[in-house]
């Protein structure tokens, strides 16, 4: 079965490519796994690859947003302290 996907952004393209590579890797690992080891091997690989996919997605999304902000020339104002709060930490005095 062959399907075609369309990526509208660089982020989408990278994530589609990485997801397809992960699927191929999982298929190869489960095909090569010894009887009784398929679930353990597939689960370990899926968790690892899923984390890597999530990390890459977050990295690219934040990078894309930062580039958009830089392009606009938007400056970020410093955050104001909470009303009535203090920015100094009170530490206990040694006895």
- Residue 59 in any domain: the answer is yes
Contact 39, 12 (CB under 8 A): no
Computed over its alpha carbons, how large is the radius of gyration of the chain?
Answer: 23
74-86 pLDDT, tens digit each: 666 676 666 665 5
When the pLDDT of each residue in the chain is averaged and rounded to a whole number, the result is 84
pLDDT of residue 68: 85
What's the pLDDT at 1? 87
Domain membership flag for residue 88: no
DSSP conformation class of 93 = P
Q: For residue 90, is it within any domain?
A: no
Q: Is residue 93 part of a domain?
A: no
Distance CA 11, CA 57 (A): 7
Q: Is 35 exposed, middle or buried (0-12, 13-18, 19+ CB in 10 A)?
A: exposed
Residue 30 domain-assigned (yes or no): yes
Residue 48 is assigned to a structural domain of this protein: yes
For residue 46, give the nearest of 34, 33, 35, 58 by alpha carbon: 33
What domain range includes position 48? 10-72
């Amino acid at each position: 079965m062959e399907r075609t996907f369309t990526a509208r952004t660089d982020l989408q393209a990278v994530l589609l490519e990485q997801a397809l590579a992960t699927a191929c890797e999982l298929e190869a690992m489960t095909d090569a796994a010894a009887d009784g080891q398929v679930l353990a091997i597939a689960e370990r690989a899926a968790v690892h690859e899923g984390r890597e996919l999530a990390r890459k997605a977050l990295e690219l999304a934040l990078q894309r947003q930062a580039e958009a902000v830089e392009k606009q020339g938007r400056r970020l104002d410093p955050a104001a302290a909470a009303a009535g709060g203090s920015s100094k930490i009170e530490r206990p005095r040694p006895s």
